Amino acid sequence: MCNEQAGKTMLVTGGSRGIGRGIALVAASKGYDVAITYSTKKDDAEEVAKIIQTQYGRKCVVFQASMEQEGVPVRTVEAAIQALGRLDVLVNNAGLTILDSILDMPMEKLDLLINLNFKGYVLAAQAAARHMVEKGIKGSIINITSTRGYRAYPGDAIYGGLKSAIVRATESFALDLAPYGIRINCVAPGAIQVRFDERTQKFYDKLSARIPLERA
């Protein structure tokens, strides 16, 4: 993104906090009108919208969207297009980390991860790409993956495996969309401290004990 992109539009799923919040705020600072989604944290999403509107003078619309649910990814993209007038950039960011051994992963968690971290990304990207092709928009789709998609950890077969699957799918999507001037890429962050509470502290204490520098 750069200043010459001023006046364009972006949808950031999971834009109420963490990585999605950061992307939405930077996009607004560069002149984008933004739509963001949240799953449960409405107050966080409304705070992001207020910052975008008051500090950057850009439009920000907020949608509640549980992206793992049937039909929600497509409806969310359509709602963003209607609210913003068009869609130049989609950032697939909404996701969830669940770690479990292959011996213990229950079916409901497996289904949740597949629907949210893979199927939701694909369906939202498909809806955005179809809009861009129809309107002749040489837009961009960004899939937030993870370093876990490139390196194996115990208990991470499903989450990490799905992130790896998104990377591979994106490579083929890029070939499908290149003739239309549409870019689709992955960004794979490492560990990001989104929130801090007692549970988070215990996680980082346990993680740090396994690292030579004794810090995450």
Residues taking part in catalysis: 159
How many residues belong to the chain? 216
The answer to whether 133 and 126 have CB atoms below 8 angstroms apart is: no
- Gyration radius from the chain CA atoms: 18
Q: Tell me which amino acid residue 91 is.
A: V
Here the tokens at position 33 are: 């009108």
The percent helix, strand, coil of the chain (3-state, each to 5) is 50, 15, 35
Give me the residue label for tokens 């991860």: 113
3-class SS of residue 47 = helix
Give me the residue label for tokens 């694909």: 122
Here the tokens at position 63 are: 């949608």
Under DSSP, the state recorded for 3 is G
Phi-psi region for residue 197, left (φ > 0), alpha (ψ -120 to 50) or beta?
beta
Distance from C-alpha of 185 to C-alpha of 146, rounded to nearest angstrom? 13
The answer to whether 97 and 160 have CB atoms below 8 angstroms apart is: no
